[in-house]
Amino acid sequence: DGTFGPTDPVTYEQAVAMLVRILGLDVFAQRKGGWPDGYLVVAAENKITSGVPGTNNQPASRGTVALLTYNSLEVNLGEASYIDSDGNAVTIITNKTLLKDKLEVEKKYGVLVSTEFSAVEGAKNKAGEVSFKASNGQGGYYSKETAKVGADVNPSDLVGYAVSYYLKYDKTRNEYTAISVQEDKTINKTITVAAEDLADSTLSTFRYWEDKVNDDEATEETLDATILVNGVVDSGATDATLRPDSGSITIVDNDGVYEVVFVKQYLNFVVDSVNTDRNYIDFKNNNSVQLDASKSDKYTFSLTLDGEAIELKDLKEYDILSVIADKTRGQEISDGPNSDPYFETAQIFVTRNVINGTIDELNTNDTYILDEDGNSTKYRFGPYFDKNSIALGDEGSFYLDYEGKIAYADTTKTLDNYAYVIDAYATGSSARPTANFRLL
C-alpha cells in the first residue's frame, strides 16, 4: 500500500512470499492470484510450507522461518530464460537449487566409513578428516570420498552408521568440508548393551538381557559383522571379544543385517597432578602419561568434559579420566614418563562427579552409599576398581566415571572438613544481631 514498516513483525505469508521470490517463482505466484494467495499456493506446491506451523496475518516465529528456509533449500530454481513474442520474460524451472548452486553445499546420503579415531573400511583418517561412501540410490554405494571436518561437527560416534551429510565446497582450496553429519534414523537399527547386561554371545549370535532380573531367556540377534574394538577392526576376534568386562557393545544394521559391532572398553585414571610444561599427567596409581598435541605424527587424542573440548591445563586433581584407546584395553596409555603413550588414538572423557557419604552396603559388583541427605543409592564399580580398598562403614568421597560407576574412593578426605554444631546463639542488639556457633 505504499508504506514501509521497518520495525513491523514479518508475517507468515510475507516470509513465504520472500522465499518464493528468492527461488525465482514469483511469476507463477502472480499467475495463481498474486499477493498473498498465489504465493501460498506456489509454496504449498513446492512443499515449502510442508510441516511448518504458521497463521496468516500473524508474525512468523524464528522457528517457522527456519523451517520454511530449510524446506526451500532443495527446491528447483526458476529462471527467466527468454522473451516471448509479446515481450514477456518466460520463466522455466531449472535443476539448480539454493543449496547447491548458491550456497555451494551438497546434501548426500550414505555410510560414514572412517574418522581419525576409527574405521570400518580402510585406514583411519588424518586428524580433522572424515570419509563417506555415498549411496547411489540403487542399493549400492559410490567409492569413498574424504572431507575436512567442520567446526561443531563431531562424527566420531557415527562410524559404520547410515548418515545424511552436507559437504561445502571451497573453490580456492579445491576441497570439501563436512558442515553437518546426522544419523539417518530411517535406515539405522541399533542396539547398545552395557557390559553387565551381556549374555554369552558368539561371533554369529549376539545375546543380551533386556531385564536381567525378570527375563527367563536372553534376547538374541544374528550377526554377520565387522567387529571393532575401541575403533579398530579386530580381524582375530573371538567369542570372548563380545564379552568385555567394562563399557558397552553396540550393534548396527543399515541394510537388513547387523553388519557392524562396536566393542567399547575403557580404563579409568585418577589425576594427581598436571605438568603443562612437559605435557604430563601424573595419576594416583603412580603411573604417568604424556599427552602432547604437537606429536600428532605419533598419536592423536581428544579431551572432553561434559561434551566440550578442554585442554591439559584445565585438568584438576581427582578428575576421573575414562580412556578409550585403540590398543588392548587401553592399558598402554600409562606407559610412564620415559616413553610416549603406546596408542594411535584415544578418546578421553573427563568427569567431576563426586559422591560424599558412607558405605551402607557392600556387594561383589556394587555398593550402596548413604549420602549427606540420608539417601542410600546403589553404585556399580568401574573397571579394575580395587574393591579391597573400601569396607562397610567407610566414610569418604567416591568419584564416578563417565558411566556413573565408582572409579576411585578416598575415605580419608572428609575427616577434616566437617564439624558438629554443639551450640548456637545470638548476641548484640535485636536490630543487628550476630549469630554465634560453637563447633566440635
Q: What is the pLDDT of residues 245-279, one digit of tens each?
A: 888 999 998 877 898 899 988 889 999 999 999 88
Return phi, psi of residue 371, to 5°.
Answer: -85, 180
- Sign for the pseudo-dihedral over CA of 316, 317, 318, 323: positive
The grid cell for 195 is 557390559
List pLDDT tens digits, range 41-98. Answer: 999 999 999 999 888 889 999 999 999 999 999 999 998 877 777 777 788 899 999 9
Q: How far is CA 220 from CA 59, 234, 252, 262, in A?
A: 53, 22, 14, 17
Is the separation of the CB atoms in 68 and 52 below 8 Å? yes
Average pLDDT of the chain, as a whole number: 89
The answer to whether residue 113 scores a pLDDT higher than 70 is: yes
Is the separation of the CB atoms in 111 and 131 below 8 Å? no
pTM over 0.75: no
Is the separation of the CB atoms in 258 and 252 below 8 Å? yes
Beta strand pairing call for 434-439 and 421-427 = antiparallel
Q: Buried (b) or exposed (e) across 375-392, using 16+ Cβ within 10 A?
A: eeeebbbbbebeeeebee
For residues 374 and 15, give the distance between their C-alpha atoms in angstroms, rounded to a whole number.
57
List pLDDT tens digits, range 364-393. Answer: 889 999 988 889 999 999 988 988 889 999
Q: Check residue 74 and give its pLDDT.
A: 94
Return phi, psi of residue 287, to 5°.
Answer: -85, 165
For residues 415 and 295, give the distance between their C-alpha atoms in angstroms, rounded to a whole number.
43
DSSP E strands, 11-77: none
For residues 269 and 272, give the distance between their C-alpha atoms in angstroms, rounded to a whole number.
9
Q: Check residue 335 and give its pLDDT.
A: 62
According to DSSP, the residues that pair with 164 across neighbouring strands are 109, 182
Least Cα distance to 291 among 311, 309, 308 occurs for 311
Q: Greater confidence, 333 or 269?
A: 269
User: How big is the CA angle at 253 (ends 248 and 254), to the nearest 5 degrees?
Assistant: 135
Cα-Cα end-to-end distance for the chain:
81
For the chain, helix, strand, coil in percent to 5 are 15, 40, 45
pLDDT band at 339 (very low <50, low <70, confident <90, very high): low
Q: At what angle do helices 12-22 and 37-45 cross, to 10 degrees?
A: 60
Least Cα distance to 355 among 395, 402, 390 occurs for 395
List pLDDT tens digits, range 159-189. Answer: 889 999 999 999 888 999 999 999 998 888 9
According to DSSP, the residues that pair with 177 across neighbouring strands are 148, 168
For residues 189 and 253, give the distance between their C-alpha atoms in angstroms, rounded to a whole number.
5
Q: Tell me which long-range contacts 139-148 makes (C-beta under 8 A, separation of at least 24).
A: 139/255, 141/110, 141/111, 142/110, 144/113, 144/114, 145/176, 147/175, 147/176, 147/177, 147/178, 148/175, 148/176, 148/177, 148/178
Is the separation of the CB atoms in 325 and 345 below 8 Å? yes
